[in-house]
Structure 1
Amino acid sequence: MQGDTRAQEPVTVRTFTQLFSSTPRGARLARRLVANRMDAWGFAYDGQASESVVLVGAELAANAVRHGSVRGRSFRVRLVWGGGVVRVEVADGRTERRPVLREPDGEGGRGLVIVAALAERWGVEPRAGMAYKVVWAELRVGVGG
């Protein structure tokens, strides 16, 4: 049997990057712009893919504001969509504080539990020699909107 001679379809990769103030208002705006970008990429606001990506983005943005904020520094949200996966990245300035998945308590702790439940994979990438870290999650969304 000979190899597959069909042409491979190119994978289109789309990205979105935005800086936000490290404030609750910045986190809310991040959530809205993630929803807007998913809609622009063809994923309906009320669709499962969009809702999952928006929720993960909102949780990571809220964590960046609550636990990763450094006075006078913004946080960055970056979305990368390609090959049926959306990668949500949130970079903040607190390199010494790494998120830890733990049991929720009365005061909170549900954010990473939600991220872990919705994402296929998630993690933290410290940036050696840089003044920030990136918390990321990857969600399978299909190839079309």
Structure 2
Amino acid sequence: MNDQDMTIPAPPTPEIRLTVLAVPSSVVLARELVRYALTNWGFERNLIHDSMLVMSEIVSNAVTAAPGHHIRLRCTLQEEAPLLECWDPSPALPRSRNISGTAENGRGLMIITAFAEGAGTRPSATGEGKIVWALMPA
């Protein structure tokens, strides 16, 4: 056997998943999931903070869309950038709303798009519900 015959598999992409109930207290768990993952993967403090904020907005939308149901959180890397995802069983897509300057909520999508390199939704592989995702800067 020579060196050309040897192949070294690529290291697996780091990933953390968590299933929680769509209740307001799960937003805290989502933030901590992101903090844990990105700290262990060596990201800088500002990106970790921004990613925690984005994930909390994504999960807050899922709590609104599917209260009391299970939702699945995922934090992984895509081309060395954090990818944050949340699946919920509701087919309703998040949408921007016109809000007043004094409104207490309704700014989630604006926050996500302000901090993320890209964001969107896609249908789940099973066809049930949707995945809301945000790709953070590398």
Report TM bin, short chain.
Answer: 0.7 to 0.9
In structure 2, distance between residues paired with 1:40 and 1:128: 29
TM-score (normalizing by structure 1): 0.78
Confirm or deny: 8 A CA contact 1:52 1:118 kept in the other structure.
yes
Write the distance in 2 (CA, Å) between the matches of 1:113 and 1:43: 24
- Tell me how far apart the structure 1 counterparts of residues 62 and 48 of structure 2 sit (CA, whole Å): 21
Q: Name the structure 2 match of 1:108.
A: 105
Distance (Å, rounded) in 2 between the aligned partners of 1:108 and 1:58: 13
User: Gaps (5+ residues) in structure 1?
Assistant: 1-9
Q: Any gaps of 5 or more consecutive residues in structure 2?
A: 1-9
In the TM superposition, residue 129 of structure 1 has moved relative to its aligned partner by 5.2
Query: What residue is the counterpart of 1:29 in the other structure?
Result: 29
Tell me the distance in 2 between the aligned counterparts of 1:131 and 1:93: 6
Give every structure 1 segment of 4 or more consecutive aligned residues whose post-TM-superposition deviation is greater than 4 Å: none
- The alignment status of 1:76 with 2:72, answered yes or no, reads yes
What's the Cα RMSD here?
2.0
Q: Which residue of 2 aligns with 1:7?
A: none
In 2: Cα distance, 1:87 partner to 1:104 partner: 28
Matches within 5 A, 1:129-140: 130-140=127-137
Which residue does 2:55 correspond to in 1?
57
CA drift of 1:128 comes to: 6.7
Letter in 2 for 1:55: L
Indicate conservation of the 8 Å contact 1:18/1:76, yes or no.
yes
Please state if 1:91 is matched with 2:87. yes
Aligned CA distance change for structure 1 residues 129 and 36 (closer, same or farther; 3 Å): closer
Q: C-alpha separation between the residues in 2 aligned to 1:103 and 1:119?
A: 21
Q: Report the Cα offset of residue 40 of structure 1.
A: 1.5
Deviation at 1:11, TM superposition (A): 7.2
Tell me the distance in 2 between the aligned counterparts of 1:120 and 1:43.
16
